[in-house]
Amino acid sequence: MSELTPEIADQVLTACETNLAEIAGAFTRALDAEFSATLGESSLLKLGEAAAEFDGPGLAVVVSIGEVGAMILLPESTGLLPSWYAQPDATGKSKLTTLAQELGMLVLPDSFFSDDFQAGRVAALKQAIKTAELTDPAGQVTLNLASASKQGVVSILWPVHRPSSAFAPTSDAPAQAQEAGQEAAQEAAQEAIEKKNVKPAAPSSVAGSVNRQT
């Protein structure tokens, strides 16, 4: 069986070129828009030189082949992703899973058979790459994806050594939660101080006059 190493870039590029129409169709069915795809290029990706778009959120598709796998990334900044993909309902989850399954068969050579596939939004693509333990340098093939006036680049990266960890919560999530809790506590404390400092209104002169008359 062939090994999923950066050296098979030409084979991945050939698979993508052969299946461009089917790849575009898979995105069309999954993301509720008409897509077209053209072939990009193959290269070695050094993690320190990853595209700036990977700093933000996006769609991550992870295909597992035994203990290793490949990632297919589409940044949210491209504008090609529907709003529902961030919190999909049952139908949306089914569409994303089907997309992952189809891409696993279309972007890799026929000698690779995926035994698990996942897809979903990640808050930071670069963090997902890190937690999935992408080889450095890694194999990379890009595709140009377009829909109406919007266009963006899909990156196929391999191999990752912990594909199931790509969707693990980011390490700074607890810190963010703690920070949010501290802010809420500060706001509550400030509100209590403001209430305490409110003085009761003085009796009106009219009310005082009425009392003297009685």
**What pLDDT, on the 0 to 100 scale, is given for residue 187?**
53
**Collapsed DSSP state (helix, strand, coil) of residue 180:** helix
**What pLDDT, on the 0 to 100 scale, is given for residue 114?**
87
Give the Cβ contact number of residue 64 at 10 Å. 19
pLDDT digits (tens, 9 = 90+) for 107-153: 999 999 888 999 999 999 999 999 999 999 999 999 999 999 999 99
- Contact call for residues 53 and 129 (beta carbons, < 8 A): no
Rg (CA), the chain: 27
Q: Is the pLDDT of residue 180 over 70?
A: no
Give the Cβ contact number of residue 158 at 10 Å. 28
Amino acid found at 14: T
| Cα 149 off chain centre by | 22
- For domain 6-165, give the fold: Chemotaxis protein chec (3.40.1550)
**What pLDDT, on the 0 to 100 scale, is given for residue 184?**
45
- Contact call for residues 101 and 84 (beta carbons, < 8 A): no
- Contact call for residues 61 and 103 (beta carbons, < 8 A): yes
Sign for the pseudo-dihedral over CA of 201, 207, 209, 214:
negative
Q: List the structure tokens of 51.
A: 């595209």
Length of the chain: 214
pLDDT digits (tens, 9 = 90+) for 14-72: 999 999 999 999 999 999 999 999 999 999 999 888 778 899 999 999 999 999 999 99
**What pLDDT, on the 0 to 100 scale, is given for residue 47?**
85
